[in-house]
Amino acid sequence: MAAKEDLYAKVTPRRQRQNRPSTVKHGSTLDVLLSMGFPKTRALKALVSTGGKNVQAACDWLFSHVDDPFLDDPLPREYVLYLRPSGPLLQQLSHFWQQSRLSCGKNKAHNIFPHITLCQFFMCPDGKVEALSEALQSTAAKWKGRIPMPLPLELYISSSFIGLFVEEQVAEVLKHFAADFATEAAAKADAHVEPHKKQLHVTLAYHFQASHLAALEKLAKNIQVSLACDWLAVLFSRDIRFANHETLQVMYPYVPQNDDELELLTGDFIFMSPVEQSTASEGWVYGTSLGTGLSGLLPENYVSRADESDTWVVHGSHSILNYSPSSCPSNTVGGLLFDGELNNSLLDSLMDPSTLSGLCPPMQALRPAGQASLSKMRLFVCRHGERMDVVFGKHWIAQCFDSKGRYFRSNLNMPTSLPPRSGGHRDYDKDCPITVFGSTQARLVGEALLESHTAVDFIYCSPSLRCVQTAQNILQGLQQDGKTKIRVEPGLFEWTKWVSGTSLPTWITPADLAAANLSVDTTYRPHIPVSKLTVSESYETYISRSFQVTREILTECKNMGNTILIVAHASSLEACTRQIQGLSPQNSKDFVQVVRKIPYLGFCACEEMGETGVWHLVDPPILPLTHGPNHSFNWREMLIQD
């Protein structure tokens, strides 16, 4: 215990200490990092901090933390084991989360996603984390299919707490699962894990205002706890130094003006402790960057509140469900009738592996012989790549076209050529192309999809040139260029209120795009033609349009292919996926806040829940893509000395 207390003693405010995430085997990854010359302690810290993804992610972390004053700090991370819902039940809980936040504001439950806590936070040395992940994997494999589904949950409401409690005897089954993990963790990783001894539950709300109780109670009673759900045993970690800090997310980039200020990159997270704010002037806060480990002052209006769990790392995620939810009635446990109570003999049988053959059989055993497994329909939505007018300003056209309308580039990040336009080059003013970097970004996404063995059956895109070019480059990275045709769908264009002037862009026609060697389907008939779009449409009209066209695309492709890719705008990631999950649209203010956080090539994925027509968000098959600022370099100004 003395050693542990010494480690905890190191958790002090950052300013006082300085003068001014699926399970992945990373043994070979560690060897690569060591061969590159990184010290073992740093290499392990990088792997653990990135969830052991790959060499590139670890290298990026190491390079971004090169000036972190605590890069060699021996303090390990904290770990916790949660049971997370998925499927229709998760959609119900997510809807409760969002509606309660909108109507009653944020309460303490919002800091972490819906979950059941299986163990307390514990520490594990960086060198043992791979073994810890293996401990969870082996435990989940041992218990798969032995835990009663659906979990019997009962709503509990008091003046200060609302939650869903697991029926006592089923909770005992989960506690045995947690105890087995604790045993495995001790044997494999020398980790001391304390299984959760209190009543197992999903917290819905706590630390809320008394005046909000009635509204929260009404929302909670609408949750259908008997819905089908796969529960995932997920191992998370967090940086223990920031356990009691407030988490903020950077909304806008900021370049420091003074030595004690912190550089901000959009999307990064900042950890802020109240004890560190004593010397910060009004409008400023003092915090530490997740991305770099550096601390400093930053303008308060450049960040927004985030949830604590947004910065956590996943080290393993395993399903504990092993049968078809539709194959057993909702009042059965493993195929046996369940009347609200489990008797001891049934509980004992669930603990005994020898009785598993008598339980509800695995999903694949229920199919007729020779029948292949039906793949789920998937929808990917992706934002376009870096655009010319954002990088080079609104006057790029004047810089790149001569008096006769001939294009020439003045920077390497400008494309070597542009497709001709029947209305002349001025049409580029409202319909700009992507940059060379934008093309590269898109090809990277396509290559990542190819590496993940993901093929795209249909690809739809907004009529904006930047979206068509992005889709083309994704297809090139996928090696599907020429094989899969791009369907240009005007209904996928962004909210027309954001278009300047009194008219919509004049887009290049599919025929002219095809003539410019873009792989466009010239026979495709749009669901919403250009003539149906109006200038300055209302937010409700845009959301309705996006939902309509997404539903019609899904219907059009059903039974013809499993994977659909939509390439459109930042707003499309929200507008095209929210309502197909059965969720109500956000208000326009919150919608704008979400959209502002989505970077170029932002990518999300949805899956259909069986044949229900209801979809839910899932992890994309590719890693995220992060890009940083790159200012123009003029050698004359920088290198010629007076």
Neighbouring C-alpha atoms within 13 Å toward the C-beta of 189:
26
Q: Among the options 383, 421, 466, 616, which is catalytic?
A: 383
* Helix, strand, coil percentages, rounded to 5, for the chain: 40, 20, 45
Spatial distance between the Cα atoms of 295 and 271, rounded to a whole number of angstroms = 9
241, 384, 487, 578: the active-site residue: 384
d(CA 21, CA 53): 7
Q: Are 170 and 94 in contact (CB under 8 A)?
A: no
Return d(Cα 429, Cα 426) in angstroms, integer: 6
Which pairs from 388-394 meet CB under 8 Å and 24+ separation?
Answer: 388/414, 388/432, 388/433, 388/434, 388/435, 389/432, 391/435, 391/437, 394/429
d(CA 274, CA 285): 9
Where on the phi/psi map is residue 320: left (φ > 0), alpha (ψ -120 to 50), or beta?
alpha
How many other C-beta atoms are found inside a 10 Å radius of the C-beta of residue 10? 13
3-state per-residue secondary structure call for 68-79: CCCCCCCCCEEE
Give one word for 530, left, alpha or beta, with left for phi > 0 and alpha for psi -120 to 50: alpha
Over the chain (642 residues), the average pLDDT of each successive run of 10 is: 45 41 53 88 92 84 92 91 89 88 85 92 93 94 83 92 92 94 94 92 91 92 84 92 91 91 93 83 91 93 90 90 40 34 40 34 31 64 95 90 91 94 92 96 95 93 98 96 93 94 93 94 94 94 95 89 94 94 88 90 88 80 84 70 52
d(CA 556, CA 379): 13
Given 487, 569, 578, 616, the catalytic residue: 569
Which domains does the chain carry? 30-65 (1.10.8.10), 77-242+308-319 (3.90.1140.10), 252-301 (2.30.30.40), 378-389+432-618 (3.40.50.1240)
Distance CA 340, CA 360 (A): 18
Phi and psi, residue 461, nearest 5°: -150, 160
Active site residue 578: no
For 396, phi and psi rounded to 5 degrees? -65, -30
Q: For residue 417, what are its two tokens?
A: 């050529």
Angstrom distance (rounded) from CA 389 to CA 435: 9
Under DSSP, the state recorded for 207 is S
Record the pTM: 0.52
| CA-atom Rg of the chain in angstroms | 27
Q: Which residues contact 638 (CB under 8 A, 6 or more apart)?
A: none
Catalytic site includes residue 453: no
Amino acid code (one letter) for 114: P
**Per-residue confidence (pLDDT) for residue 611, from 0 to 100:** 62
What is the DSSP secondary-structure string of 308-333? Answer: GGGG-EEEEEEE---S-GGGS-TTEE
Whether residue 201 lies in the annotated active site:
no
- Supply the pLDDT for residue 637: 67
Q: How many CB atoms lie within 10 A of CB 186?
A: 13
The pLDDT score that the predictor gives to residue 583 is 85
Contact present, 604 and 617 (Cβ < 8 Å) = yes
Q: Measured between alpha carbons, how far is 119 from 184 in angstroms, rounded to an integer?
A: 13
d(CA 461, CA 569): 9
Q: Look at the alpha carbons of 442, 413, 416, 467 in this order and tell me if their dihedral is positive or negative.
A: positive
Q: Which helix (H) or strand (E) holds 247?
A: strand 246-250
Q: Where are the alpha helices (DSSP H) in 105-207?
A: 129-143, 168-189
